[in-house]
Amino acid sequence: MNWLFPFSRTEFIFIGLFICFYIGYVWRTFRLARQLNTSAWGVIPKFFLRASYLILLIIALLGPSFGEPEGDVLTTGRDTFLIVDISRSMDAGDVVPTRLERIKYDIQQLCDTLPTERFGLILASSESFVLSPLTSDHYALKQFVREVHTSVSPTGGTELCGAIELARQKILTDPSTQRRVKAIVLFSDGENFGNCERSLLSRLRLEGVPLITVGVGTEAGASIREGRSFVRDNDRQIVRSRLNRPFLQKLARDGRGQYVETDGNGTYINELASILRGLKGRGISQNHIAVSTNKYFYFLLAALVLISLDVIITIRTFRV
């Protein structure tokens, strides 16, 4: 038999309290019996009954596991290229602290949520480039993510579809991805300064690589800080960047993927992880395993039966 939880100080405390209280109860009962000149041995059966269901409750709490049902487990490998928009608009503060800083943190959370997946990282700017190839070393990937800044982009503009095409080429030309489930995730506010050819998204559909877009920002938008001032246009007006939701939704729809939108506390990461887990593909390995299962409910049921007996059965404590 295996145990889900170790025998800890908590269980010792419960047992100690039970013994102390019951010793006090028995001592008080026998003392009163002596004063009444009678017998109080009726408390003994109740002690064994109550001690029995206390032990059963503690065993159930520790999670006893036994039995070894066997089965086959099919492992499906997944490779995902993450595209991060590093245009100047990602410095907008409508998502705290900024759009880019929010995404950097959320990507690290995604790695923790999907610890067995391989991720690659592409930065989308006027000229997109691979910052990290596909890797299962999430610690190294997180280090790369922490160093990402919008200043990496020399011109400030973004060609999102160029980055998507780069991700498509990298994920399909890598021999290690042939038997694995493939996907592309784009983190962006949707401001795009390049042309998106329909043939690109058609190729993604034909090759079975879904494009999942993550909208970063709000429709109300925000200005972009530049030192002590704000970014301005040619007319010296303050630029206000807004989330281009329709564009990102269209990309996801044409790329046979889904659209997800960021939120203030990052709970959308669970939704994104569920989408990636739900992608269908061929298994890469099959293992025959034996698993012990937690059978706590047997002991809990037995304890409940004894508790019911304790309530129902009445034993005369004092015998005259």
Q: Report if residue 136 sits inside a domain.
A: yes
Q: What's the token pair of residue 42?
A: 């009726």
- Domain hosting 252: range is 74-285
Inter-helix orientation angle 99-113/268-277, to 10°: 50
C-alpha closest to that of 212 among 256, 160, 161, 278: 256
pLDDT digits (tens, 9 = 90+) for 11-36: 888 888 888 988 888 888 888 877 77
Question: Is the pLDDT score of 289 beyond 50?
Answer: no
- Do 109 and 191 fall within a single domain? yes
pLDDT digits (tens, 9 = 90+) for 138-154: 999 999 999 999 865 55
Residue 297 banded pLDDT, cuts 50, 70, 90: confident
How many domains, in total, are found in the chain?
2
Q: Report if residue 53 sits inside a domain.
A: yes
Q: Report if residue 317 sits inside a domain.
A: no
pLDDT digits (tens, 9 = 90+) for 234-262: 788 888 899 999 999 999 999 999 999 99
Does the pTM surpass 0.85? The reply is no
- The answer to which of 24-38, 81-95, 192-206 has the lowest mean pLDDT is 24-38
- Do 8 and 82 fall within a single domain? no
